[in-house]
Amino acid sequence: MNALAGGPTRRGAGLAGRLLVAQTLVLLTGVLTAWLIAANVGPTLFHRHLTMANVGATSAQIAHAETAYQSANAISLSLALLAALAVAMAVNAYIARRVGRSVATIAGAASDVAGGHYDIRVPSPGLGAEFDALASGFNQMADRLGSVERTRLRLLADLGHEMRTPVATLEAYLEALEDGVATLDAATAQLLRAQTRRLTRLSEDIAAVSRTEEGQVQLDIRAVSPESVITTAVAQAHEVYETKGVRLVTDITPGLPELSLDPERMGQVLGNLLDNALRHTPTRGTVTISATLSSGTDGVALSVADTGEGIPAEHLTHVFERFYRVDPGRDRAHGGSGIGLAIAKALVEAHGGQLTATSPGTGHGSTFRVLLPRR
């Protein structure tokens, strides 16, 4: 019963009530101060001026004039203070109610967000730029949390999907070996190793993208020419491109300035982009890796463009998310771990650069562009 009885009291003593009480105390203090000063200072000054001006022939006349002054002063001051107090109290009550209602709305929305309802949005209270900024910031936070939650759920689902196939394969072959149905020959051992390598690659990729996104990657920054980075990446990818029958072309603008970067990490970025382009480019297609001066800046742009499947417009903003697949039906055994582009983006940003993706649409290829600042 005490807890129930205390509930309304606590709600009544909220921000609006406290603000109204505080403003009322300030107003009452101001009214009392004005009244005391007028009552004590005014008559004394009036009497002094009467004496200096020789007004009134007798003390009774002087007393009558002072009494008239005090009465007129008290009536006019009282009316003025009461009117001002009434208006000020009305304004204070209105402002306190508006502020309290806005804060209560944000508090309620925060509780909903804490409960997992990320679709909650707070309307602009119309109380000034500060409150509008608060509402806008809250809405952006809720939207971001919703996006993170959706990514988390998709990440967990994709992790389960990623691990299910190799684990099921390993379990099936182990049971077959235990039952004597299968023998541990070279082909079986190779298949088991392939599945364990797939799990190892998945764990390494997840660890790598987590370290890069959290800024825990150590970069060995040095002055490097863009041409040397591209040449190394092309040399490492040449064999797999030749095996698939995809032509790999380089286009490097002469006289490019040196860049301050980690050549190994940037080679990893270009390797991931070349690997991604190869997976999505058919035989007899072409992948072009280029380096040019970035228009409008003093940086250098490294690009990997292919003539492959292309990316629909609605997928372009998501291609750098972990495990995101433009084609949900693609087998990850042939489509990569789904983390390579996320790793590449995080490494580029660790260098102070930007990684973007563009595509005219399905069937028209795609271009991944790394913009690196000149330091």
> How many whole angstroms separate alpha carbon 64 and alpha carbon 320?
91
Range of the domain at 35: 2-117
Which CATH number does the domain housing residue 193 bear? 1.10.287.130
On whether both 79 and 184 belong to a single domain, the answer is: no
| Residue 320 falls inside a structural domain | yes
On whether both 230 and 368 belong to a single domain, the answer is: yes
Supply the pLDDT for residue 68. 67
Q: Would you say 202 and 167 are in contact if contact means Cβ atoms under 8 Å apart?
A: no
| Residue 133 falls inside a structural domain | no
Q: Would you say 216 and 350 are in contact if contact means Cβ atoms under 8 Å apart?
A: no
First to last CA, the chain: 70
Please give the angle made by the CA atoms of 206, 228 and 276, to the nearest 5 degrees.
Answer: 35
Q: Give the pLDDT confidence of 245-293 residue by residue, as tens digits.
A: 999 999 999 989 889 998 888 998 998 899 889 989 999 999 999 999 9
Which CATH number does the domain housing residue 334 bear? 3.30.565.10
Q: pLDDT at residue 310 above 90?
A: no
Supply the pLDDT for residue 286. 95
Q: Count the neighbouring beta carbons within 10 Å of the beta carbon of residue 251.
A: 12
Reported pTM: 0.52
Of 183, 213, 243, the residue at which a domain comes to its end is: 213
In SS3 terms, the chain reads as CHHHHHHHHHHHCCHHHHHHHHHHHHHHHHHHHHHHHHHHHHHHHHHHHHHHHCCCCCHHHHHHHHHHHHHHHHHHHHHHHHHHHHHHHHHHHHHHHHHHHHHHHHHHHHHHHHCCCCCCCCCCCCCCHHHHHHHHHHHHHHHHHHHHHHHHHHHHHHHHHHHHHHHHHHHHHHHHHHHCCCCCCHHHHHHHHHHHHHHHHHHHHHHHHHHHHCCCCCCCCEEECHHHHHHHHHHHHHHHHHHHCCEEEEEECCCCCCEEECHHHHHHHHHHHHHHHHHCCCCCCEEEEEEEECCCCCCEEEEEEECCCCCCHHHHHHCCCCCCCCCCCCCHHHHCCCCHHHHHHHHHHHCCCEEEEECCCCCCCEEEEEEECCC
On whether both 201 and 237 belong to a single domain, the answer is: no
Question: How many domains would you assign to the chain?
Answer: 3
> How many whole angstroms separate alpha carbon 73 and alpha carbon 43?
9
On whether both 244 and 365 belong to a single domain, the answer is: yes
| Residue 301 falls inside a structural domain | yes
Q: pLDDT at residue 236 above 60?
A: yes
Query: Rg of the chain over CA atoms, in angstroms?
Result: 38
Supply the pLDDT for residue 366. 93
> How many whole angstroms separate alpha carbon 273 and alpha carbon 267?
10
Q: Give the pLDDT confidence of 83-115 residue by residue, as tens digits.
A: 777 777 777 777 767 777 777 777 777 887 777
On whether both 111 and 154 belong to a single domain, the answer is: no
| Residue 131 falls inside a structural domain | no
> 27 — phi, psi (to 5°)?
-65, -45
In single-letter form, the type of residue at position 134 comes to: L
Which tokens go with 326?
Answer: 């433009």
Question: Rounded to whole angstroms, what are the CA distances from 85 to 15, 26, 94, 258?
Answer: 22, 11, 14, 73
| Residue 309 falls inside a structural domain | yes
| Residue 208 falls inside a structural domain | yes
> 301 — phi, psi (to 5°)?
-105, 125
On whether both 6 and 54 belong to a single domain, the answer is: yes
For residues 11-39, give the mean pLDDT. 66
Which tokens go with 94?
Answer: 């209105």
Q: Count the neighbouring beta carbons within 10 Å of the beta carbon of residue 117.
A: 12
> How many whole angstroms separate alpha carbon 290 and alpha carbon 252?
5
On whether both 227 and 207 belong to a single domain, the answer is: no
Q: Tell the residue number behind the tokens 């260098």, with chain if given.
A: 351
In single-letter form, the type of residue at position 145 comes to: L
pLDDT-based confidence at residue 337 (cuts at 50, 70, 90): low
On whether both 304 and 357 belong to a single domain, the answer is: yes
On whether both 312 and 241 belong to a single domain, the answer is: yes
Query: Within a 13 Å sphere around the CA of 224, how many CA atoms are in the beta-carbon half?
Result: 21
On whether both 227 and 366 belong to a single domain, the answer is: yes
* Strand 247-252, strand 286-293: pairing: parallel
Q: pLDDT at residue 41 above 60?
A: yes
Of 194, 213, 232, the residue at which a domain comes to its end is: 213
For residues 229-247, give the mean pLDDT. 91
On whether both 283 and 366 belong to a single domain, the answer is: yes
Of 186, 213, 240, the residue at which a domain comes to its end is: 213
Q: Which of 39-48, 117-126, 255-264, 302-311 has the lowest mean pLDDT?
A: 39-48
> How many whole angstroms separate alpha carbon 347 and alpha carbon 285?
28
In single-letter form, the type of residue at position 286 comes to: T
Q: Would you say 369 and 268 are in contact if contact means Cβ atoms under 8 Å apart?
A: no
Which tokens go with 295?
Answer: 């228009």
| Residue 129 falls inside a structural domain | no
| Residue 107 falls inside a structural domain | yes
On whether both 240 and 368 belong to a single domain, the answer is: yes
